Structure 1
């Protein structure tokens, strides 16, 4: 992202006494902001608000490029999405509709009607389909974006309200989360649910994954974040891996970096947390919002976090150099007592509360980090895990395997 442009009049640098990172603050919405999305090839940030508008901002300067009236009669608007070609804008609302608008003219092109409240929507990567989920009937609907016609209506995907829905990388599955405490994968080829992720004790609010769909994270109103590693599939037997429980309130949103190394979460405790997934700990805890945080996202270069809130603010957190910043979130007892040590093989720092001596003949006296232990384990053993419907996308099978095979090594509740 190019950040050399001067800030617009409705944007400002924030210098708070408690701030550990540089913060940009963009103003304009007059109601709670429910969603945010980046279109990086345009340098655009898109936000949707309960003030019945969607807005496009210049990401670098904070200048408002366009405002769209969404025609939802002031009903809550859970999500606004723009296709990657940046030609169409889509919104969904508690008024039981999804709507499509022309980006250039702002005119409504088509409207789709549900029988119940629409809780979320998402556009496919090829821009040809829109999925939406509903409240009481828990129906997953797929719309043809060109015609505005319903192409599929899938009932009973969940036992109760769908809280989020999104297409996977190849647009051949839709991943949904629900108040029934599960995350499900609906296969658009076989037209059936192929996988259910369990482990949360409360409503699952969102799911996110890395570029190659090898690591999934879910967040919940039970204040926890769970990780599921698809490369080994051991979560099937042992359950998911839990990140340290740092949020004090329900977690509303999560976003994982493309490389699967970082995760951002935001919640009703007014915190944004940046997680280091390689070391299974947090990097930063960020405060500044004055009301519930509804959505978060991370730039592809991992330099900026964007968060939106009921306080009507858009915050951009500059986290490029956060490794040198004092962490501002309270450490739990385990992390307080832990020391940082060096891996004797790769030299990387890691927490002493994950120390484990390797039993191999080569490094019998060495202290190894998670990933060096994993490499040794993979070198000395043959894995025969069957991933079934949860395997890597066929088009990506030749890619290098993701390193975060964490569930084989770390305890279930870290």
Structure 2
């Protein structure tokens, strides 16, 4: 079963603790509640699912949210009102592992442990087609041009590519991984399918040559749970049960010669999901420690943790304008976090002061970024993306070490 379907932190040595029951700080009508006392970030809880929320997305220019759940339903939410405006149900017969939207927001594709991938009409809620698999389907994704769908099945650790309109199979790659595929997705150019797995590997399968063009066997020391691209398709971020995230320069192939940039010590347990902002300046991740970490990509450090979920975070998304973070959880809820004023939060300001940070211009690409001091005399002079292809200056400052609980 996929990482998103695992119960509890897979790295924990003892029995899974019961989720802490906290008083409900948000009115049932979905209005904004009081600020989180720790993070000072306003949030809204979206309630409606009756089981683990496995996947979530912003859509309709950030005015709506799409989610799916182990309760076998897909829900479309109004962000302003905070409640579902459409429910897709009574079709899947087992937990839904992932949902995905077409670029025009007109169709929804879902994958399920009932061995199927289904397509739905967003406007009417009617099912358009069903594609049967021989095993449970752990992930699904629609290409950025809306033409193809890719899915990952645990039967033979295979990926399927099929036509998004007719559901005709275009490719079936059996034995693509050595273990269960946890996530598969198209790159923004619709040229390659990327997949990650329990087997700790990253694979890119080429749509033109119909072959695996890239395999990365080293990088993570435990199962890889999620992956996401920057909007230009050059960089890939992977999240892992080894408690880290890594950023890879995929398009230029620099990863073949140099290590990826690592984002460490943001979570106290396994990292379950990740997402880039549209401009790639932020990475958001969720973990089994029930928190969401917000990373400053250029500087390579965690700027803030969001706490509030009562169980592990299964998926995250960030709005195009970077004002909102969306999180899904095993606690059956979604949360909307307003991060518009994140840089004015005292703890974020203080953290930057302690690290000796300042806004500088990258000496290579000439873009402005937040630079952190490596030592008493050295400031990083290149943004993280230029450092990916410059091994001499690859060392990134990281937050103080967090002692693991297991």
TM-score, scaled relative to structure 2: 0.82
Change (3 A) 1:70 1:403: farther
1:342 Cα deviation from its structure 2 partner: 6.7
Does residue 56 of structure 2 align to residue 36 of structure 1? Answer: yes
From 120, 124, 134, give the equivalent of 2:143. 124
CA-based RMSD of the aligned residues comes to 2.8
Q: Aligned partners of 1:174, 1:146: CA distance in 2, in Å?
A: 19
Change (3 A) 1:283 1:406: farther
Does residue 296 of structure 2 align to residue 279 of structure 1? Answer: no
Q: Aligned partners of 1:355, 1:129: CA distance in 2, in Å?
A: 52
Does residue 126 of structure 2 align to residue 107 of structure 1? Answer: yes
From 391, 395, 398, give the equivalent of 1:411. 395
Change (3 A) 1:57 1:370: same
Does residue 91 of structure 2 align to residue 71 of structure 1? Answer: yes
Taking the TM superposition and a 5 Å limit, the aligned residue runs for 1:47-62 are 47-62=67-82
Cα displacement string for residues 346-396 of structure 1 (whole angstroms, at most 9, x for unaligned residues) = 996532236665xxxxxxxxxx43328x9xxxxxxxxxxxxxxxxxxxxxx
Q: Which residue of 1 aligns with 2:312?
A: 292
Change (3 A) 1:14 1:349: same
Q: Tell me if the contact between 1:304 and 1:320 (Cα under 8 Å) persists in the aligned partners.
A: yes
Q: Which residue of 1 aligns with 2:18?
A: none
Which deviates the most, 232-241 or 166-175?
232-241
1:337 Cα deviation from its structure 2 partner: 6.8
Change (3 A) 1:337 1:39: closer
Does residue 175 of structure 2 align to residue 191 of structure 1? Answer: no
Taking the TM superposition and a 5 Å limit, the aligned residue runs for 1:14-413 are 14-15=33-34, 16-41=36-61, 43-73=63-93, 75-197=94-216, 198-230=218-250, 233-327=253-347, 338-340=355-357, 350-353=371-374, 357=378, 368-371=379-382, 403=386, 405=388, 408=391, 409-411=393-395
Q: Which runs of 5 or more structure 2 residues have no equivalent in the other structure?
A: 1-25, 399-406
Q: Which residue of 1 aligns with 2:4?
A: none
Cα displacement string for residues 35-77 of structure 1 (whole angstroms, at most 9, x for unaligned residues) = 001223372210001111101111233232201105222x221
Change (3 A) 1:182 1:228: same
1:148 Cα deviation from its structure 2 partner: 2.3
Cα displacement string for residues 170-227 of structure 1 (whole angstroms, at most 9, x for unaligned residues) = 2111111111101111100011111123300011111112111222211101111111
Q: Tell me if the contact between 1:119 and 1:163 (Cα under 8 Å) persists in the aligned partners.
A: yes
SS at match of 2:320: coil
Cα displacement string for residues 127-168 of structure 1 (whole angstroms, at most 9, x for unaligned residues) = 221110011411100122222222221112211111101111
Q: Tell me if the contact between 2:317 and 2:326 (Cα under 8 Å) persists in the aligned partners.
A: yes
Cα displacement string for residues 87-135 of structure 1 (whole angstroms, at most 9, x for unaligned residues) = 2222111111111222233222221111111100011122221110011
SS at match of 1:235: helix
Q: Aligned partners of 2:308, 2:293: CA distance in 1, in Å?
A: 12
TM-score, scaled relative to structure 1: 0.81
Cα displacement string for residues 317-336 of structure 1 (whole angstroms, at most 9, x for unaligned residues) = 111221121348xx8xxx99
Q: Aligned partners of 2:142, 2:163: CA distance in 1, in Å?
A: 10
Which deviates the most, 286-295 or 86-95?
86-95
Cα displacement string for residues 219-251 of structure 1 (whole angstroms, at most 9, x for unaligned residues) = 101111111134764432232221132211111
Q: Aligned partners of 1:261, 1:406: CA distance in 2, in Å?
A: 17
Change (3 A) 1:41 1:239: same
Q: Which runs of 5 or more structure 1 residues have no equivalent in the other structure?
A: 1-6, 358-367, 375-401
1:85 Cα deviation from its structure 2 partner: 2.2
